[in-house]
């Protein structure tokens, strides 16, 4: 236990009372050890996700059709690095060694969604990532923004939300434009076929498999995994349908239903989906990480090692 951890000495009951009175948690002085552990975990997932999106988007940005399009991609990448910085700074305030966390962790110890471990290899895949992955990030962060009991993060997310809206719009504008051309549309559809299902996985285990107890009770998030997956489909499916692209999901009058095997085996080299598998099998794939994990993390850590 570090010196800082000893400052989070409220009891669980005191934290519950504080929250019940409608107050936000502003720092270690308001936290129990359990709250501190939970908020560190969710902040790490968020900051890692923002950070790894930078090398993932940079790889794809090289396929930009023109220099000004490359510029737009670079400004998105800059935003993502700033979002990561917000998360790591807050973790620093909560007693985490930021340098160790960012620069000295093993690639396999990073906590971002598996989707970012699969390379984005074209401009089609970059703009789809903006339309799908940034939409997933937006759904998750909007929930945190609305529900979070940790004041410093809640306030910082007002700015992050606005920038994510720009990333999303960038993705949608391009998807719409490319979908209007028959050849471009074919290539978009081929990428969408693997990227859509991969983003469904982003939201994690289904509610019947996962207990959120403390995450929901302490307001680290407001909605369950399945609710968030529904929110994401409610944004993505109508848009893709509108521009004439096919996604394996429909609305049955009550909720969004997935029309393909899910969860599913994934051939990460061919970027192709296979048979239905169990969530236990999915967790094995997630744990092993995907093709780009080591490359991206090494890229992010390289300057620090050589300094
Ligand atoms: Fe971001
Ligand atoms: Fe983004």
Quick one: pLDDT at residue 195?
A: 98
Q: Report how far ligand 1's centroid is from the alpha carbon of 44 (Å).
A: 13
How far is the centre of ligand 2, averaged over its atoms, from the C-alpha of 70 (Å)?
A: 16
Which ligand has an atom closest to residue 83 CA? 1
For position 214, what pLDDT does the model report? 72
So what's the pLDDT on residue 267?
98
Residue 115 Cα to ligand 1 middle (Å): 15
The number of the ligand nearest the C-alpha atom of 133 reads 2
Mean pLDDT, 10 residues at a time, over the chain (307 residues)? 71 92 94 93 97 98 97 98 97 96 96 98 98 97 93 94 95 98 98 98 91 75 94 98 98 97 97 97 97 97 78
pTM of the model: 0.95
- For residue 57, report the distance from its CA to the centre of ligand 1, in Å: 11
pLDDT in tens, 97-114: 999 999 999 999 999 999
CA of 75 to the centre of ligand 2 (A): 10
Nearest ligand to the C-alpha of residue 129? 2
Q: What is the whole-number distance in angstroms between the Cα of residue 76 and the centre of ligand 1?
A: 8
Q: Give the model confidence (pLDDT) of 27-49 as tens digits.
A: 999 999 999 999 999 999 999 99
Can you give the chain as a three-state secondary structure string? CCCHHHHCCCCHHHHHHHHHCCCCECCHHHCCHHHHHHHHHHHHHHHHHHHHHHHHHHHHHCCCCCHHHHHHHHHHHHHHHHHHHHHHHHHHHCCCCHHHHHHCCCHHHCCCCHHHHCCCCCHHHHHHHHHHHHHHHHHHHHHHHHHCCEHHHHHHHHHHHHHHHHHHHHHHHHHHHHHCCHHHHHHHHHHHHHHHHHHHHHCCCCCCCCCCHHHHHCCCCCCCHHHHHHHHHHHHHHHHHHCCCCCCEEECCCCEEECCCCCEEEECCCCEEEEECCHHHHHHHHHHCCCCHHHHHHHHHHHHHHC
Domains of the chain as residue ranges with CATH: 3-305 (1.20.1260.10)
Q: Per-residue pLDDT tens for 253-280?
A: 999 999 999 999 999 999 999 999 999 9
How far apart, in whole angstroms, are the C-alpha atoms of residue 44 and residue 96?
A: 10
Residue 307: what pLDDT?
59
Cα-to-centroid distance, 87 and ligand 2 (Å): 14
- Cα of 262 vs centre of ligand 2, distance in Å, is 26
Q: What is residue 73's predicted lDDT score, i.e. its pLDDT? A: 98
Q: Which ligand is nearest to the Cα of residue 166, counting in written order?
A: 2
């Amino acid at each position: 236990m570090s010196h800082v951890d000893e400052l989070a000495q409220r009891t669980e009951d005191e934290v519950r009372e504080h929250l019940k009175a409608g107050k936000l948690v502003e720092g270690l002085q308001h936290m129990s050890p359990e709250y501190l552990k939970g908020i560190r975990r969710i902040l790490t997932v968020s900051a890692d996700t923002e950070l790894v999106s930078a090398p993932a988007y940079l790889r794809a940005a090289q396929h930009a059709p023109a220099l000004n399009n490359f510029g737009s991609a670079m400004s998105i990448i800059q935003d993502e690095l700033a979002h990561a910085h917000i998360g790591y700074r807050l973790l620093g305030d909560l007693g985490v060694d930021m340098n160790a966390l960012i620069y000295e962790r093993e690639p396999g110890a990073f906590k971002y969604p598996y989707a970012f471990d699969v390379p984005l290899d074209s401009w089609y895949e970059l703009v789809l990532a903006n339309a799908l992955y940034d939409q997933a990030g937006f759904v998750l962060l909007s929930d945190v923004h609305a529900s979070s009991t940790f004041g410093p993060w809640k306030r910082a997310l007002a700015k992050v939300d606005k920038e994510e809206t720009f990333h999303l719009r960038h993705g949608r504008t391009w998807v719409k434009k490319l979908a209007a051309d028959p050849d471009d549309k074919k290539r978009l559809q081929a990428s969408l076929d693997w990227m859509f299902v991969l983003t469904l996985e982003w939201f994690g285990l289904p509610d019947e498999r996962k207990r959120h107890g403390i995450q929901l009770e302490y307001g680290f998030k407001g909605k369950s995994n399945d609710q968030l997956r529904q929110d994401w489909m409610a944004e993505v499916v109508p848009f893709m349908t509108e521009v004439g692209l096919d996604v394996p999901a429909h609305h049955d009058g009550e909720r969004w239903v997935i029309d393909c095997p899910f969860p599913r085996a994934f051939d990460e080299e061919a970027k192709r989906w296979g048979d239905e598998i169990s969530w236990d099998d999915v967790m094995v794939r997630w744990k092993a990480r995907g093709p780009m994990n080591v490359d991206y993390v090494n890229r992010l850590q390289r300057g620090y090692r050589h300094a």
